[in-house]
Amino acid sequence: MQTETVSVHGGKKRLFYIDNIRIFLTILVVLHHTAIGYGGSGDWIIIERPTDSISPVFLTLFNALNQSFFMSLFFLLSGFFVPGALDKKGVPIFIKDRLIRLGIPILVFAFIISKFVDYLILNYTRGRVVTFYQVFSYQFKHPSFNTGPLWFLEALLLFTFVYMSCRLFADRFLKKQIPSPFNNSFPSVRSISISIAAIAFGTYIVRIWFPVGVQVYHFQVGHYVHYIFCFWLGILSYRGKWLDHLTRENSNLWKKTAIVATIVLPLFFVLIMAAGYTIEDCLGGGSWLSFVTATWESVSCLSISIWLLYIFKSRINTQEGWARSMSPNAYTVYIIHQPVVGVVMVFLLGIALPSILKFFIVALVCIPLCFLISHFVFRKIPYGKRVLG
């Protein structure tokens, strides 16, 4: 997640709408993980038993829709800024910058922040009483590398260096830049439709062996066809100036598609439940439900991403008031939100409230709290701005 703005296509104009999308996606990340804690699908540090049967359905649908596009759009936006940064800074400075901005947060989370998370888990969900000293002592004797939600930074670092290596190879042996498709235009409906079909099929194939939820290292491989494709799309969109040519006309079809995909999701959920299937049947293994799910996710991924890019570009392309103060802190919020949400959830553990109400309470508390902590604490530490933006 790159928070700096580089010169775009030789210009100095700041892309406020991209900054604003990052704020929006970061808030979705906080909501997504909070939803898991109160009955939504996924894995989280603290998971309470739902108080009713409706809350898990609502929160699972919410998370399914989020998962179809939000991290993929993060990768697309990150990929968009990589070519310009490499062109501007050169290889040595670019590598140093990536290691500082991505590598340092990964290390800080793995060896410091995650230990606080372990403390919360052990004391408040597993019935053990331990001190911070005991948690850190155990880490010293039994080293582990838990990056939590910062798997995204690990993947982004890997994708970035793969791109840089390909660029160096091309510059040395091909002696010319490979032209971007749809240069100075936006991709056609036919091309986007073919892309949807390709990533749907690729996702279905990968999930035969790596269903959703199965991790290799810290990565859920079942989602990575979308992630890799969208990072590549970000690079192509920068080279071809696609976003400059994103208009109402070429986004209108994808707006309608996104609306239909959103409406279809709960209907699909009801139908599979009525037919006696479970959510697990949709997550992989080569079943026909896995293929339908992969297709729906791929349609939702690209259609919602295009629609959101157009909405923010055309309507939310300025920064005043709250947006101006939130923008430089969004990256830090992503890094620190796990322990913040965990602490607030701990305070509500013994309170008898409906799960859906707890979700809204935690969300309303944690979103502003994360931004406040980011602004007044983390970015004030020495060299904080150099790492966090």
- 292 CB contacts (<8 Å, ≥6 apart)? 268, 282
The answer on pLDDT for 384 being more than 90 is no
pLDDT of residue 13: 64
pLDDT digits (tens, 9 = 90+) for 241-270: 999 999 999 999 999 999 999 999 999 999
- Please tell me the predicted confidence (pLDDT) of residue 386: 85
- Would you kindly state where each structural domain of the chain is located, as residue ranges? 179-313
Cα–Cα distance, 150 to 101 (Å, whole number): 12
pLDDT (tens digit per residue) in 50-95: 999 999 999 999 999 999 999 999 999 999 999 999 999 999 999 9
Per-residue model confidence as pLDDT tens digits over 2-23: 444 444 544 456 789 999 999 9
Per residue in 325-344, pLDDT tens?
899 999 999 999 999 999 99
When pLDDT is averaged across residues 292-298 and rounded to a whole number, the result is: 98
